[in-house]
Amino acid sequence: MRRALAGDRKVIVDGHNAELHCYLVAAGVQSARVVWTTASGRRRQRIVQLAQVRLPDPAKPWEGVEISPDRIPFASPARL
């Protein structure tokens, strides 16, 4: 996850029924805070288990709604 925090922070969260294409905001020992924008333009965030988070790869590319880097919030690991 260090690579995601140092780079563009695009990650994929594997959920029960779907994948969530989002941005990694902060990562703790067992959990991570992610943020994404819906198709309607609403901003959402969630705390997920770190085991659910993976980096995109050529076989499964990131397909989320882009957020400008200056609009992605930062969070302290203590807030996870």
47 domain-assigned: yes
pLDDT at residue 12 greater than cutoff 60: yes
On whether the pTM is more than 0.75, the answer is: yes
Is 71 a domain residue?
no
Instruction: Flag whether 74 is in a domain.
Output: no
Mean pLDDT computed over 71-79: 59
Q: Is residue 39 part of a domain?
A: yes
Spell out the SS3 assignment of the chain: CHHHHHCCCEEEEECCCCEEEEEEEEECCCEEEEEEECCCCCEEEEEEEHHHEECCECCECCCCCCCCHHHCCCCCHHHC
Residue 25 sits in which domain range? Answer: 2-57
For residue range 47-70, what is the model confidence (pLDDT) as tens digits?
999 999 999 999 999 999 888 877
- pLDDT score at 9: 85
Q: Tens digits of per-residue pLDDT, 22-45? A: 999 988 889 999 999 998 989 999
CATH number at residue 15: 2.30.30
Higher local confidence (pLDDT), 70 or 15: 15
